[in-house]
Amino acid sequence: MDKLQKTTGVITGKGRPTLYKPEYCERVIELGRQGQSLHQMSADLDVSFVTLTAWRDKYPEFQAAITRARELSQAWWEDLGQKGCTDRDFNAQAYRLQMINRFPDSWRDKTDLAHSGLLNTNTPVERMSADDVRAELQRRGALDEHGKLIQQK
C-alpha cells in the first residue's frame, strides 16, 4: 500500500478498498446547511482533510456535493450576519474575519486597482531614466511636439 492509499483510502491500483461511501454526499450537504467548514465535514465523517479532498477529486458526485455544501455554508453564515445586524451584542469584526477567511473568493478586503499613465511618485530626477524624465516633462507640458524644451518666460 502506498502513502496516498494510507492517508486517503483511495485505491490507486492494489490495496484495501476505499472508505468512501456515496451516502457521504448527502451528509456533507447537510453539514453545509449547518454552516460547517470542509475541516468540520472531514471530522464528522471521521476522515482526514486530505482524504476528503482526495474523494472530492476522484468522485464527481462528491465534488458536486462539496460545492453545494460550500454554497449552503456561505448562505448560513450570511444569514447569521444579516440577523446580527439588529443584535446589539453582535461582534461585527469577528463575523467579518470569519467571512474573509471562510469564503475568500466572495469576501475579502483587497481591492484590485488598475492604473494607466504615469504616477507622480516625486522620484528625484537623479533616479529616473532619460525616458522617464522625458515622459514626465511631456506630461507637464514642458516639451513641444518635437521633444524640445519649451522656454519659460
pLDDT of residue 7 exceeding 60, the answer is no
Return d(Cα 149, Cα 104) in angstroms, integer.
51
Contact 50, 39 (CB under 8 A): no
More confidently predicted of 36 and 130:
36
What average pLDDT score do residues 120-144 get?
A: 77
Q: Is 0.85 surpassed by the pTM of this model? A: no
Residue 149 confidence class, pLDDT cut points 50, 70, 90: confident
For the chain, which residues make up each domain, given as ranges? 3-102, 116-153
Residue 83, H or E segment = helix 60-84
Contact 58, 10 (CB under 8 A): yes
Residue with cell 460545492: 67
Return d(Cα 139, Cα 146) in angstroms, integer.
14
Whole-number Cα distances in Å, 28 to 21, 59, 61, 78, 82: 12, 14, 12, 19, 24
Q: In the prediction, which pLDDT does 118 show? A: 59
pLDDT (tens digit, 9 = 90+) per residue, 28-78? 999 999 999 999 999 999 999 999 999 999 999 999 999 999 999 999 999
Q: In the prediction, which pLDDT does 108 show? A: 77
Q: In the prediction, which pLDDT does 128 show? A: 78
